[in-house]
Amino acid sequence: MPQTGPSMSSKLGIRLEGNQRSYSPGDTIIGCVYRKSPVIVIHRANNTTTYRGRFDLIPESACSQKIFQGPLHIESGGDEQTWPFAIKLPKHVDPRYLQGGGQDESFVPLGATDHVLPSTYTLRALGNTEGFVEYFLKATLRVTRKGHIDMTEAVLPFNIINLSPDPPIADFGLKGSRSRQTISSYRLVPGMEDVKLSFSQKVKQSFSASSVPEFVYNLLVDVPSVIQLENPTPIPFKLRVVPDSNGTSEIIKQVPQKIKLLSVSMRIASSTEVICEGSLYPHTKERREEIDLCVESAINRIQDDIYIPCTDEGPPLDIGAILGLRLEQSRPGSLHRPSSLPKLNPTFTTYNIRHSHRLTWKVIGEIAGERFSALGAVPLKIVMPSDGRGWLGEQDSAQRTETEGTFDGAPDKGEEYQALLKFCGISVDDPQRLEKLRAVPTAKIIEAASSINKAAFSPLADKSSFPIIPNYLNHANIISDCSWINAIVRGDAVFEGYLFAHNLMDVRPEAFCQHVENLLGAENAERVLKEYKISRTMDGNLFWTRLCTLCGDVMFSLPCHTLSKELWQSGKKQYRCILSLCNPFPGSFVSNILGLHFIELTYQFMTFMERLTLQRQRDVCIGFVRRWTAFAYGEEALVSVYMGR
């Protein structure tokens, strides 16, 4: 059973106040039903679905309103007619109206009266299995003419997001882990740190001979078992080393050892189970997914060495506090904000879907040039964010908004934010700084972006390498002015915008069209949307595809066009590379997609040549590299060389 998509037209449509798309249980949905040309009843319906399993969470009969009855006439070309409505969402599921399967097809008791409406959720898995929790509004127009009844419907999906009424949690349920370890090395002795070992010493050390000094210690690791999404407090991950004097060699018992931290890896493994009616017994499926929290890469960006405290007492090293580690929740149905992390859903169990998590970690360190490691895993409960409407004051709410949608695993992001405030003339201590930043003109923000935000180029953005830091706006000028470039092969993306498909799936045509109009003005917006055949009332799936194309053009094709223009004006030779090779690897969301630029890199550098299944693909890979190498040595580029056919 597919998910419900939007269905609206000038004959009948639904509009929500303020274009709001997300609500919490107990909220009131305010909006109107409209018609531009000829007893309207608006219904509420929602369900969770997987295969053939279905539970109705809110009864349509209990949440229906008749908002108009009587003669209806709208003149041709006249203004639209609207009928307002307000529907209060229940907080809990009424078990009397579930209309689902039996108890053996549910993870929760069917008679429970305290089961909170679950948040909107979608499981997308390979194969023919899917599971989702969805909510939508449905308006029905019933017109009687000369004894004949015409029915017109409009459907508008919306989202439910559960929020906690309590303040952000302070107790992360830390679980301690103790790992007893031993390091044998002559370099543990003071003064021997940099001494070159003799052959005999190396042999003794490799076999841990009794004459080699030995340092015995316990590595203590405290990891969270509870994480709250969008909690302003960093997620704790604490490390400490406690020496074991009883096992340590006498010569180094009183010597404080330096424990250097090399890397920390943290991953969240999520498991989603679905259950539904089967032929003889309930059918179940499970999907597992692992999400890297990017802690290791964040640590690598810190230039200074990090050391783990080696003491019986004293505070531990808190990696979460150093990196500002936080997680965010998906906010479906809105124009998405940039995020450094994949979207995460809270742990939850509803009738036929159960979503759980597990935290896995690994620590690698170094003592006296010898490496050690420890790893572990704990069950993890991810809880819903706190509802700022209930407990935050105005200033705290603004501060919370600043932390929403961000992962501070990249330490430079805080610096970039402060630099942006300074660039716009706003004090970092101003309690109204966020509101003032929102009021900054677009032109000023664009100007700031070219000098502050270096995006993926950040690790290389150094004046010693690049006197002028490249960015989206100036890269074409830099390349065209480069004296040592005589010719260039310029690529493009056939459908690069498909990369954004997952992030764009919840964007609705009406909201997007309004967003473009607000940015460009009505006339320019109409020209752009017409070019891409995008309208407010078009089919949702068709809109999704065309929006991907538009985003691909803006993000990739436009810079390529700008580069081509600059190269032509500078007199440099340029060749067009059109790649007709597809992604050959199954399992990716871009499998068999044509022309994505990283497919070119796969062939160009022979990165995965041993994994290519066809000899033809391997031959193309080798030929591709040969031609690129020849071009680098000054040979002419031939268009036919790059077709890959």
What pLDDT score does 370 carry? 86
**Smallest Cα–Cα separation from 581: which of 537, 485, 645, 520?**
645
What pLDDT score does 420 carry? 82
428 within domain boundaries: no
Do 48 and 136 reside in the same domain of the chain? yes
User: How far apart are alpha carbons 402 and 433 in whole angstroms?
Assistant: 10
21 within domain boundaries: yes
Query: Mind giving me the DSSP string for 253-317?
Result: TTPPPPEEEEEEEEEEEEEEEEEE--SSS-EEEEEEEEEE--HHHHHHT--S-EEE-BSSSSPPE
Query: Mind giving me the DSSP string for 147-190?
Result: TEEEEEEEEEEEEE---BSSPPPS----EEEEEEEEEE-GGGST
169 within domain boundaries: no
pLDDT band at residue 495 under the 50/70/90 scheme = low
412 within domain boundaries: no
Answer whether residue 462 shows pLDDT above 50: yes
**pLDDT, tens digit (0-9, with 9 covering 90-100), for 202-259:** 666 665 666 688 889 999 999 999 999 888 889 999 999 999 888 888 888 888 888 9
Answer whether residue 512 shows pLDDT above 80: yes
pLDDT band at residue 397 under the 50/70/90 scheme = very low
Q: State phi, psi for 370 to the nearest 5 degrees.
A: -105, 130
| Least confident residue range of 108-117, 331-340, 400-409, 411-420 | 400-409
Answer whether residue 36 shows pLDDT above 90: no
The percentage of the chain sitting over the pLDDT mark of 90, rounded to a whole number, equals 15
Do 22 and 109 reside in the same domain of the chain? yes
Answer whether residue 403 shows pLDDT above 50: no
Q: How high does pLDDT run on average in the chain? A: 77
421 within domain boundaries: no
pLDDT band at residue 324 under the 50/70/90 scheme = confident
**For the chain, how many structural domains are there in total?**
3
Mark which of 94, 127, 160 sits at the end of a domain.
160
User: How far apart are alpha carbons 100 and 58 in whole angstroms?
Assistant: 12
CATH number at residue 101: 2.60.40.640
Answer whether residue 307 shows pLDDT above 90: yes
Answer whether residue 47 shows pLDDT above 50: no
Q: What is the pTM of this model?
A: 0.54
User: How far apart are alpha carbons 153 and 137 in whole angstroms?
Assistant: 10
What pLDDT score does 492 carry? 63
Do 359 and 258 reside in the same domain of the chain? yes
What pLDDT score does 210 carry? 66
What pLDDT score does 2 carry? 62
442 within domain boundaries: no
pLDDT band at residue 640 under the 50/70/90 scheme = very low
Do 614 and 492 reside in the same domain of the chain? yes
Do 558 and 626 reside in the same domain of the chain? yes
User: How far apart are alpha carbons 508 and 485 in whole angstroms?
Assistant: 44
User: How far apart are alpha carbons 256 and 22 in whole angstroms?
Assistant: 56
Whole-Å CA distances, 194 to 190, 260, 294, 358: 10, 16, 33, 42
**Smallest Cα–Cα separation from 29: which of 86, 82, 67, 84?**
86
| Cα within 13 Å of Cα(242), Cβ side | 13
Mark which of 396, 417, 434 sits at the end of a domain.
396
**pLDDT, tens digit (0-9, with 9 covering 90-100), for 560-571:** 888 888 888 888
Mean pLDDT along residues 394-406 = 37
Total length of the chain: 645
Do 198 and 143 reside in the same domain of the chain? no
What pLDDT score does 260 carry? 93
5 within domain boundaries: no
Burial annotation 597-608 (CB, 10 A radius, 16+ → b, else e): eebbebbeeeee
**pLDDT, tens digit (0-9, with 9 covering 90-100), for 524-561:** 999 999 999 999 999 988 998 899 889 888 887 888 88
What pLDDT score does 401 carry? 36
Answer whether residue 49 shows pLDDT above 60: no
**pLDDT, tens digit (0-9, with 9 covering 90-100), for 575-614:** 877 777 777 777 665 666 665 566 666 676 777 777 888 8
Answer whether residue 408 shows pLDDT above 50: no
Do 143 and 76 reside in the same domain of the chain? yes
Rounded to an integer, what is the distance from CA 41 to the centroid of its chain? 38
Do 142 and 270 reside in the same domain of the chain? no
What pLDDT score does 1 carry? 56
| Placement of tokens 């680098």 in the chain | 632
Domain span holding position 471: 459-642
What pLDDT score does 73 carry? 56
Do 196 and 147 reside in the same domain of the chain? no
**pLDDT, tens digit (0-9, with 9 covering 90-100), for 421-444:** 888 889 888 877 877 887 888 777
What pLDDT score does 120 carry? 84
Answer whether 6's CB lies under 8 Å from 540's CB.
yes
Answer whether 393's CB lies under 8 Å from 30's CB.
no
Answer whether residue 573 shows pLDDT above 80: yes
Answer whether residue 461 shows pLDDT above 70: no
Answer whether residue 358 shows pLDDT above 50: yes
Do 135 and 226 reside in the same domain of the chain? no
Answer whether residue 331 shows pLDDT above 60: no
128 within domain boundaries: yes
321 compared with 142, residue with greater pLDDT: 321
| Least confident residue range of 34-38, 170-174, 451-455 | 451-455
Do 225 and 350 reside in the same domain of the chain? yes
Mark which of 108, 137, 160 sits at the end of a domain.
160
pLDDT band at residue 75 under the 50/70/90 scheme = low
User: How far apart are alpha carbons 455 and 446 in whole angstroms?
Assistant: 14
What pLDDT score does 48 carry? 34
Do 121 and 204 reside in the same domain of the chain? no
